[in-house]
């Protein structure tokens, strides 16, 4: 049903690597769940915000890695339970 995702650490947001990091996997998954494209990206942004990311749109996760890790780990835990968009929003809010 749901994918196994690694725990997100604050350091992940400042890593330079050719491998996809756990938060990038989550972002891709959320975009698909939200319908792909612009609609999916809007859903991803809404869910990350609902999970606690309260920074402005142009703020980077690396600028506040503890908050970003907290939000993405909340989403990771919700994804372990469901991949339904409405249920995800309910679980992280």
Q: Coil, strand or helix: which one is 8?
A: coil
The predicted model gives 44-65 an average pLDDT of: 93
pLDDT of the residue at 79: 96
> What pTM was estimated for this model as a whole?
0.92
pLDDT of residue 3: 57
Q: pLDDT band at residue 1, thresholds of 50, 70 and 90? A: very low
Q: Please give the average per-residue pLDDT across 69-89, as a whole number.
A: 97
The contacts of residue 78 (CB under 8 Å, 6+ apart) are 51, 87, 88, 91, 92
- Each domain of the chain, given as residue ranges in start order, spans 21-92
Query: How far apart, in whole angstroms, are the C-alpha atoms of residue 62 and residue 33?
Result: 25
Task: Return the HEC string of 41-85.
Answer: HHHHHHHHHHCCCCCCCCCCHHHCHHHHHHHHHHHHHHHCCCCCH
Q: At what angle do helices 65-79 and 37-50 cross, to 10 degrees?
A: 110
């Amino acid at each position: 049903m749901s994918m196994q995702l690694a725990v997100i650490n604050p350091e992940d947001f400042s890593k330079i690597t050719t491998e996809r990091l756990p938060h990038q996997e989550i972002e891709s998954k959320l975009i698909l769940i939200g319908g792909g494209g612009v609609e999916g990206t809007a859903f991803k942004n809404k869910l990350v915000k609902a999970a606690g990311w309260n920074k402005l749109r142009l703020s980077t996760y690396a600028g506040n890695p503890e908050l970003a890790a907290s939000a993405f780990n909340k989403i990771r835990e919700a994804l372990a339970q469901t991949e339904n968009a409405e249920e995800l929003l309910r679980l992280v809010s």
